[in-house]
Structure 1
Amino acid sequence: MNKITLKLGLWFFFVMMMIEVCLFFVLHTGLVESRVEEELSALLARGNSHREVLEDLYNTETLHHIALMELKADTEVIITDGKQNIIISSSKVDNGEKKIVSKKLENVPRDGKILERRWKNEKYISTVSPYSVNGHQNGYVYMFKSTDQVQRLISKLNQHFLLAAAVTIILLIVTILFLSRALTTPLIQMKRATEKLSKGNFSVQLPDRGEDELGELSRSITILAQDLKHLKEQRNDFLSSISHELRTPLTYIKGYADVARRRNIADKDRERYLDIIYEESEKLSNMMKDLFDLAKMDQNTFVIHQEKVQICFYLRGICEKMMPAFKEKDINLEINCNENMYVLIDPMRFEQVFLNLFDNAIKYSDPHTKTSVLVKREKENVLIEVKDEGRGIPGEDIPFIFERLYRVDKSRSRDFGGTGLGLSIAKELVEAHQGRIEVKSGLGKGSTFLILIEEMTE
């Protein structure tokens, strides 16, 4: 048996046993007291019945008849006069009965009263009923019942209780075993699942256990395993991509450096090779900067300093800064923003978002095309659309376009080779401003990036 099953079982058993003992004690005490009261009530009623007979017809024959009746019963009777002198009894009077008869009686009600009820310590329980005949003859009818009979009755009751207790305990043990296993089995499965997770085995699939807390915990562990598996795969892909991305420029740098070091090479060729080395060094430097920014975002050490910015004026400034790059490739850059709208952003960080989007538009658009920026209100938000007429993104690549080091161009050619981190950084930055970025695209149809950010009221 597992430790948790044993602990839960013992705990349930202890609690239920305490409850059962208390209930049995209260029930047993109540039943015993009730049964004794019934015996005393019956004894008093019998005495009152004899009194009625005596008052109707008081004579020696009646007295003997009453005594004879009790002789054959499991009770005894003693009839006395008004001074408590015994007139007749159904059996030989012993000391216990004498002791009770000798008790001084005062103001005994007509319906009689109980003289002795201590069935545990005394030999008899007893009642007394007064009688009066024509105002001349007064006396008392004493009724007795041996406590041995009461004790035998209580003993039988105790046997029934013990049997009921034994059956209850057996059923309790069976129920506790079933319930503890029903509770602990899923917990043990979850424990084993978490042990697998801690050892790096993420192939964990727990069964659905309904809508209760155990079911929610089971689903949470399954989701955690899937997320960890996805993260592991992403990490492996990330490390593989990083090693490739770093190896490519380093290979160019090393290769062209070796060639440039040759003495018999023309100065023109050496200069061209040095330009390539410089270009690849710049790419390597940019990649390291991007990776450093992403690492700071992951560690929540990436600080943004937000301020109120007039978005149209702000975007026109960025477009003017990027205009020479667009003109160099003969791409027309337009901005359509005429409304007075304000947003709360970090100007320097948010500029990086648009520089990345414009850089992609330049790389993947042909000459004589157009890239447009449209800004408009959408409910309580500002919607910024950056649309190009470039090559577009295949549908199967769109869900992964914001993942780190993911590139649509799998060839990683030098003509279109970026770090593969620009869109990831853009997404992180937009979300750091409590915004949202999406993309709509199709192969050969260009791409439209949508940025939604909350508008500030003046």
Structure 2
Amino acid sequence: MTFRRKNKLATKLGLLFLISILFLEGILFVVLYFGFLNERTKAETDALLARGNSHRDVLEKHFDSDTREHVALMESEAETEVVITDQENNILVHSNELTSAVQQTIKSSNTIPFEGAIIEGNWMREPIVATGSPIMKNNQVIGYVYMILNTQGIRDVRDHLTSQFLIVSGLALFLTVITIIYLSRFITEPLIHMKEATQKMSLGEHDVFLKEDRNDELGELARAIQSLSDDLLRLKNERSDFLASIAHELRTPLTYLSGYADITKRENLSPKERNTYLSIIKEESENLTALVKDLFDIAKMDQKGFVIEREKIDLCTLIRQVREKVTPAFENKGIYLLISCQKDIHITLDPGRISQVLLNLLDNALHYTKEGNTVLIDTSVNNSTVEVSVIDEGEGIPEKDLPYIFDRLYRVDKSRSRKYGGSGLGLAIAREIIENHGGSISALSHEGKGTTIKIVLPGDD
């Protein structure tokens, strides 16, 4: 089955190649066969007529027996023949033995013009071609000079061209077979491998390998399929890691909820202990709700259902509103939250989504900043962009982790401790929101000194 599939395209290409070659050969054969041979015949008959006219010019001056014999003697050693007749077409002299074809041609010749004419030119059917030239004296015809050429030489040329054409045709057939084999190996075989690779990919097997060392379109296609396979394999692994991480993230709060719910059922608990456990259950349920909300946002982003509803706002006013929401938490931990914002920074964006980003960044800063330190929200206009930076004096992020903090479920704390909370989705969502606004988000950090998260948004023209 595979062999038939493999050769189907090669056979079609080979047949197309064969038809093209035969078509071109047919055109060349027609051109050579009819063009060249007709030109050869015309050249021979023109030369024959010119030779007859030359003899006619001599005989017009001396139409005596000696001159006629001399002309016949001249042609006796040539490939052509000459026949001289009187005005009644009675043969006076000839250079070679007269054949019936020559005699019949002379007898059937009609009136010949002074400049001479071809009286028999069908070289394909007749054994000879012949020309006639009238001999004039005092404007009266006194005789004719007939030049005869055997057509066997022309037919030999035709037969030679025909044999050459057959040889070339056989060579073309041989080359076509070689071409089919070559196309099968060089073109269709890589295509079959690519087809098999895509079939494996469609079945979920992404560990495919294709040769990419060709510098043509097939090589580019192989590299594209290989790249797609690698991307799908990476996405498959990321999906598996993502699901494993989500399962871990969900398991932790659910374990807390189940465990502390069982504890609160105990009859010997004091009201204070029961309230403590209920507080833990409430906190974990809030964490679970936040995680589900983040997952819902991620799902909408993947399905292109993440809507950005833009409106023109005063950015400084938005930042102050965000500050008011988080001020109690910062004051409770003894961290100073400052704002540096120019007046009248008007920009078109989605206030709800930008608030979500700022709240996420401030929540991270709150968790990683110690009591007595400062978190600053600095806003400035730089040419045609607006920059918002959240600067903390926290623990900082290790340099090896810095490039990955915006990846989904990436956490610097590899032990996934619940100390700082979070699902590892907040910064990934923040990046999606900022990029959907046509902006960018980046991080700069030094361990033990703090972290700066910079947001760059396009300003209004």
In structure 2, do the counterparts of structure 1 residues 139 and 180 end up closer, same or farther at CA, with 3 Å as the change threshold? farther
Q: C-alpha separation between the residues in 2 aligned to 1:166 and 1:32?
A: 23
Aligned to 1:35: 40
Correspondent of 1:60 among 65, 78, 95: 65
Correspondent of 2:415 among 392, 411, 417: 411
Structure 1 residue 154 and structure 2 residue 158: aligned?
A: yes
Q: C-alpha separation between the residues in 1 aligned to 2:128 and 2:424?
A: 103
Aligned to 1:287: 291
1:276 CA drift (Å)? 1.0
* Equivalent position SS for 2:459: strand
Q: C-alpha separation between the residues in 2 aligned to 1:367 and 1:198?
A: 55
* Equivalent position SS for 2:304: coil
Q: C-alpha separation between the residues in 2 aligned to 1:424 and 1:262?
A: 41
In structure 2, do the counterparts of structure 1 residues 209 and 341 end up closer, same or farther at CA, with 3 Å as the change threshold? farther
Aligned to 1:79: 84
What code does the residue aligned with 2:147 have? M
1:179 CA drift (Å)? 4.8
In structure 2, do the counterparts of structure 1 residues 85 and 378 end up closer, same or farther at CA, with 3 Å as the change threshold? farther
Aligned to 1:450: 454
Structure 1 residue 362 and structure 2 residue 366: aligned?
A: yes
1:335 CA drift (Å)? 1.3
Deviates more, 1:314-323 or 1:197-206: 197-206
1:279 CA drift (Å)? 1.1
What code does the residue aligned with 1:170 have? F
What code does the residue aligned with 1:60 have? S
Conservation of the 8 A alpha-carbon contact between 1:436 and 1:453:
yes
1:416 CA drift (Å)? 0.8
Q: C-alpha separation between the residues in 1 aligned to 2:377 and 2:143?
A: 121
* Equivalent position SS for 1:270: helix
What code does the residue aligned with 1:329 have? K
- Is there any run of 5+ residues in structure 1 with no aligned partner, and where? none
* Equivalent position SS for 1:128: strand
Scaled by the length of structure 2, the TM-score of the pair is 0.91
**Identical columns (%):** 45
Q: C-alpha separation between the residues in 1 aligned to 2:148 and 2:277?
A: 129
Conservation of the 8 A alpha-carbon contact between 1:71 and 1:91:
no
Structure 1 residue 98 and structure 2 residue 129: aligned?
A: no
1:223 CA drift (Å)? 1.6
Conservation of the 8 A alpha-carbon contact between 2:105 and 2:120:
no
What code does the residue aligned with 1:79 have? I
What code does the residue aligned with 1:440 have? L
Q: C-alpha separation between the residues in 1 aligned to 2:71 and 2:297?
A: 112
Conservation of the 8 A alpha-carbon contact between 2:101 and 2:128:
no
Conservation of the 8 A alpha-carbon contact between 1:371 and 1:386:
yes
Scaled by the length of structure 1, the TM-score of the pair is 0.91
Deviates more, 1:130-139 or 1:8-17: 130-139
* Equivalent position SS for 1:456: coil
In structure 2, do the counterparts of structure 1 residues 449 and 155 end up closer, same or farther at CA, with 3 Å as the change threshold? same
In structure 2, do the counterparts of structure 1 residues 258 and 337 end up closer, same or farther at CA, with 3 Å as the change threshold? same
Q: C-alpha separation between the residues in 2 aligned to 1:48 and 1:320?
A: 121
What code does the residue aligned with 2:109 have? K
Deviates more, 1:81-90 or 1:377-386: 81-90
1:347 CA drift (Å)? 0.8
Q: C-alpha separation between the residues in 2 aligned to 1:391 and 1:97?
A: 123
Conservation of the 8 A alpha-carbon contact between 2:37 and 2:154:
no
What code does the residue aligned with 2:113 have? N
What code does the residue aligned with 2:42 have? E
Q: What is the 5 A alignment of 1:291-310?
A: 291-310=295-314
In structure 2, do the counterparts of structure 1 residues 45 and 365 end up closer, same or farther at CA, with 3 Å as the change threshold? same
Q: Deviations over 1:319-376 (max 9, x none)?
A: 2222222111111111111143322211111110111101111111111111111112
RMSD: 2.4
Conservation of the 8 A alpha-carbon contact between 1:209 and 1:218:
no
Q: C-alpha separation between the residues in 2 aligned to 1:214 and 1:340?
A: 57
Correspondent of 1:342 among 342, 346, 351: 346
Q: Deviations over 1:356-408 (max 9, x none)?
A: 10111111111111111111223311111111111111112122211222111
Conservation of the 8 A alpha-carbon contact between 2:85 and 2:144:
yes
Correspondent of 1:190 among 184, 188, 194: 194
Conservation of the 8 A alpha-carbon contact between 2:22 and 2:169:
no
In structure 2, do the counterparts of structure 1 residues 449 and 27 end up closer, same or farther at CA, with 3 Å as the change threshold? farther
Conservation of the 8 A alpha-carbon contact between 1:345 and 1:433:
yes
In structure 2, do the counterparts of structure 1 residues 108 and 311 end up closer, same or farther at CA, with 3 Å as the change threshold? farther
